[in-house]
Chain A
Amino acid sequence: MIRRFIVLAALVMLPFVSNSQSLVQFDSELDRTRYYALIQELRCPKCQNQNLADSDSVIAEDLRNQVYVMIKDGRSDQEIVQFMVERYGEFVLYRPAFSLSNSVLWGAPAALILIVLFVAVSRRKAAPQAATAKVDDLQLQQRLDEIDSEKGAE
């Protein structure tokens, strides 16, 4: 009975034991913050929409380790990001830099707003004129008809 209990307790403890191995040690609080910021910001190349921190895939683990090693080596954030982009492309950045190939993506919302504004303004300018012109024509015709009928009555 006691042996069973010990086995059960060991099994319950197992996830905590394996978890503690993946915790990383840093020289300073700043480095720790940088590490977590970087693995939040970098995207796992194998998985479509997870960052390095969230993914359990083998490559994400390796890349987390790579980030850790590079921070320990005293490399700057920019150097680390550059390292990843050189090997895995802009895909790994959740906030890619502006470039010719993604200019449409960045520019489209602004362009759409400008187009809508332009159309709205031009229609507003055109609309009242058209309306008054029509009323004038109508009134004119009515008046002419009235004159005609008055003449006819005479």
Chain B
Amino acid sequence: MNRKWVLAPLVVFGVLAAFLYKGLSLNPTELPSAMVGKQLPMVQWRQLSGETIEAGEFLGQPALINVWATWCPTCKAEHGYLNTLSKQGVRIIGLNYKDDVELAQEWLDRYGDPYAVNLVDESGRIGIELGVYGAPETYLVDAQGNILEKHVGVVNEKVWTSKFAQRYFSGQ
């Protein structure tokens, strides 16, 4: 047996170990976002109040679009932080997803309303256009409605600073 092959098993082990170690820190429930880099879908947007609204009316500056619902416990967990962000002047647009409009309004009255605009998607059709597969999901869009980033799960300070803050402010 040639001497240089003696180390081969060690190298194979090393490569495998590196891949497996990387795998430990990956979250398999987080999908690569297919919609990042695309435009917000052309759909009929409707507000919680029942009125329709054009995308041009709520865009025009960078914003977070937060997909939420009253049936979603994680949404409740992140709501306090969204209120904080909103008070700091971050523009957040809410998309109430597959929910009851009355319950949603009640929730906003009780826990505070961090949303500059309250959109609603009762059937989930807009959600499908956006690639939503659960709640909460949060999108960063620029002034023209291009989707820059997507986050699945709770938004907290760590997520805001690492994923959103820089590009939110550079877009202004």
Chain A, residues 41-83, CB within 8 Å of chain B (1/0): the string is 0000110100000000011001100100000000000000000
CA distance A87 to B31 in the complex (A): 11
Quick check: is B129 within 8 A (CB to CB) of the other chain? yes
Question: Which one of B32-40, B85-93, B161-169 is at the A interface?
Answer: B32-40
CA distance A89 to B28 in the complex (A): 14
Q: Name B29's contact: one of A48, A66, A85 (CB within 8 Å).
A: A48
Q: Name A89's contact: one of B32, B127, B134 (CB within 8 Å).
A: B32
B35 touches A91 (CB 8 A): no
Quick check: is B80 within 8 A (CB to CB) of the other chain? no
Residue in A closest to B8 when the chains form the complex, CB atoms: A119
Q: Name A45's contact: one of B28, B124, B133 (CB within 8 Å).
A: B133
Closest Cβ of chain B to A126, distance in Å, is: 9
Closest Cβ of chain B to A132, distance in Å, is: 18
Chain A, residues 71-107, CB within 8 Å of chain B (1/0): the string is 0000000000000011111110000000000000000
Q: Name B34's contact: one of A58, A63, A86 (CB within 8 Å).
A: A86
Chain B interface helix/strand/loop/mixed: loop
Could you tell me how many residues of chain B have their Cβ less than 8 Å away from some Cβ of chain A?
17
A66 touches B31 (CB 8 A): no
A45 touches B129 (CB 8 A): no
A45 touches B98 (CB 8 A): no
CA distance A90 to B133 in the complex (A): 14
Closest Cβ of chain A to B29, distance in Å, is: 7
Residue in A closest to B97 when the chains form the complex, CB atoms: A58
> Which residues 8-52 of B have a CB within 8 angstroms of A?
28-29, 31-35
Closest Cβ of chain A to B137, distance in Å, is: 11
Residue in A closest to B127 when the chains form the complex, CB atoms: A62
CA distance A9 to B90 in the complex (A): 57
Of the candidates A46, A63, A90, the one having the most CB atoms from chain B within 10 angstroms of its own CB is A46
Of the candidates A62, A66, A85, the one having the most CB atoms from chain B within 10 angstroms of its own CB is A62
Closest Cβ of chain B to A115, distance in Å, is: 11
Specify which chain A residues have a CB less than 8 angstroms from the CB of B131 in the assembled complex: 87-89
Specify which chain A residues have a CB less than 8 angstroms from the CB of B130 in the assembled complex: 87
A63 touches B128 (CB 8 A): yes
B98 touches A66 (CB 8 A): no
Known: A48-B29, A58-B98. A89 touches B34 (CB 8 A): yes
A88 touches B31 (CB 8 A): yes
B29 touches A88 (CB 8 A): no
Q: Name A46's contact: one of B35, B98, B124, B133 (CB within 8 Å).
A: B133
CA distance A87 to B133 in the complex (A): 10
New contact pairs (20) apart from A88-B34, A89-B32, CB-CB < 8 Å: A45-B31, A45-B133, A46-B134, A59-B124, A59-B133, A62-B127, A63-B128, A85-B34, A87-B35, A87-B128, A87-B130, A87-B131, A88-B31, A88-B133, A89-B31, A89-B33, A89-B34, A89-B131, A91-B31, A91-B32
